Structure 1
Amino acid sequence: MTCPDCGEERLSFVVPSELREDVPGEPISVLLCPHCLQLEPVEDPNTEFTDFTTLSDALPKDEDTAAAMALAAALLSSLALHRQHIDALLDRVEAAGVDPLLVLDRLADDPELEPNFDIESRRRQLLQLRE
């Protein structure tokens, strides 16, 4: 299914059950655009995990950690609305031994990503909020 914002083919993946409470609406699965990071919850229990390296090499290799980081990055489009969800997801990433702010730096430098928000600015805001 293509992204309504940029026309790219979106990735679908199951939200790991332990992450669902940290995603608005607690969806079973989501569609995520690998170009603009547009996120859409879907209720498709037949969706399988995706290879997150197709989104970005900057994401962690562990699927659950990569899912948490991808979801948090996509939710940055509205930091004010999703701050609690983002904090919870980034806490999970940190608990897995990954520096989420470093991942955001790498995502900001990824030439394939063009979200409708500035990742670097949101990273700075996030740093201030998490201090």
Structure 2
Amino acid sequence: MGIFNKLFKSEDNGNRNAKNISWIPLTAVNQLDEIVEASKTKTVAIFKHSTRCGISSMVIRQFEGSYDVPQDVADVYYLDLLQFRSISNEIASRFEVFHQSPQLIIFRNGEVVFHTSHGDINSQQVAERV
């Protein structure tokens, strides 16, 4: 199981400390209004992550390792799905984006301009939309 544990093991406690990303914790539904408003002046992304899912852990590590978008042109929110599933449900309802995990949702000009999930997530998708 050694290689599978390294690839899929999730020891994520929900605290993100990536060197290239200044994660903004998404912990309240009213932040969705802030995200929509902020996206009118810069790209905003939400990364929905399940801290108990090995695939989600693998995807977020890859995302963090390759992310190089300057903070002044894009904000990246981190949503811990286990703690804040109600926010994910509100995202699905309000923005008509079917819930998946992991999932990346990108906003520009007050609306969702892109979303993807699982192994299709990569940091370049944010860079292409700044």
| More strand, by proportion | 2
In terms of Rg, which structure is larger?
Answer: 2
TM-score (normalised: structure 2): 0.28
